[in-house]
């Protein structure tokens, strides 16, 4: 019954704003930066020659922003770029929402941020040594995808309609790259750094009881143990990218066991 208050309105719980606000903290911010960086660079708002990575320019001209901006340009407007952005969203969300490897922050947001920083440093160092780059956005996506496959090897994914377990996904994608004549060295770079992280974060502690990787305490202090949950602003809307302040989720929300890893039947390469 309307009671004279005008047309009744049904709240849209599945709209773009609600979807965006529902993304985990790191995924939301990384996805936003990649989309904005790619769009603004393609439209010439941000000159591409000001954001790519160059060791010489960083060293000689101290343009240190290049250490970060190169990760947020995914390529020119084409199908491959859209696929990379989709994969960023897909595997970053899968990894973050279902608890990652624990390097001190309970496998939560702080650990994921530390994992991304580790990957960025590894990609820049190897890229400098072997003259790769000058953009490392797709390599960072491959890095996260490889680690997610190690974290949840039995998750079911689809690659062009063919169901496979996640443990085989990196190899399947690499074979496709070779078969299609695409450059695969950059894909291997992401996998290699991902394997180093996996070995240090998961294998070595089990074999040697040695913890090599430790999430910095300031990240744990900021984001807490487990998944970070941003506070809801005064208007009741979910917080979106950016924004300081917040409270960490209780550690009890992220204890081991019982995680629902992966979302079965995810399609790739459509």
| pLDDT tens sequence across 9-61 | 444 557 899 999 999 999 999 999 999 999 999 999 999 999 999 999 999 99
Q: What pLDDT, on the 0 to 100 scale, is given for residue 161?
A: 85
- CA-based nearest residue to 222, from 243, 194, 197, 208: 243
Q: What pLDDT, on the 0 to 100 scale, is given for residue 258?
A: 32
Distance CA 64, CA 74 (A): 19
DSSP state of 23: S
Helix, strand, coil content of the chain in percent (nearest 5)? 55, 5, 40
Distance CA 38, CA 72 (A): 7
Domain boundaries, the chain: 80-231
pTM, entire model: 0.81
H runs (alpha helix) in 155-184 = 169-179
Q: What pLDDT, on the 0 to 100 scale, is given for residue 232?
A: 55
* More confidently predicted of 126 and 230: 126
Average pLDDT, whole number, for the chain?
84
Contact between residue 79 and residue 270 where contact means Cβ atoms under 8 Å apart: no
DSSP state of 71: G
- CA-based nearest residue to 182, from 119, 69, 269, 121: 269
Contact between residue 27 and residue 93 where contact means Cβ atoms under 8 Å apart: yes
Q: Which tens digits make up the pLDDT trace of 193-205?
A: 999 999 999 999 9
Q: Phi-psi region for residue 3, left (φ > 0), alpha (ψ -120 to 50) or beta? A: left
Residue 152 has pLDDT above 80, yes or no: yes
Residue 214: how many other CB atoms lie within 10 Å: 12
Tokens of 23: 């993304």
């Amino acid at each position: 019954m309307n009671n004279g208050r005008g047309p009744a309105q049904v709240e849209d719980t599945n709209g773009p704003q609600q979807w965006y606000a529902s993304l985990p903290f790191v995924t939301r911010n990384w996805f936003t930066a990649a989309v904005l960086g790619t769009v603004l660079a393609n439209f010439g708002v941000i000159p591409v020659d000001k954001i790519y990575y160059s060791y010489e320019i960083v060293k000689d001209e101290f343009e240190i922003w290049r250490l970060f901006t190169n990760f947020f340009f995914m390529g020119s407007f084409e199908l491959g770029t859209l696929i990379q952005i989709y994969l960023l969203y897909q595997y970053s969300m899968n990894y973050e929402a279902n608890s990652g490897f624990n390097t001190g922050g309970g496998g939560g947001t702080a650990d994921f941020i530390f994992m991304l920083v580790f990957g960025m440093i590894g990609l820049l160092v190897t890229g400098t040594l072997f003259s790769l780059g000058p953009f490392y956005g797709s390599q960072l996506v491959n890095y996260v995808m490889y680690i997610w496959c190690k974290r949840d090897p039995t998750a079911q994914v689809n690659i062009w309609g063919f169901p496979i377990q996640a443990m085989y996904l990196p190899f399947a994608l690499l074979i496709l790259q070779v078969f299609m004549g695409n450059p695969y060295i950059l894909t291997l770079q992401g996998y290699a750094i991902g394997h180093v992280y996996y070995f240090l974060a998961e294998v070595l502690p089990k074999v040697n009881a040695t913890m090599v990787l430790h999430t910095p305490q300031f990240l744990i202090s900021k984001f807490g143990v487990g998944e970070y949950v941003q506070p809801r602003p005064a208007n009741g809307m979910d917080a979106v990218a950016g924004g300081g302040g917040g409270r960490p989720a209780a550690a009890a929300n992220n204890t081991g066991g019982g995680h629902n890893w992966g979302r079965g039947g995810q399609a790739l390469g459509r």
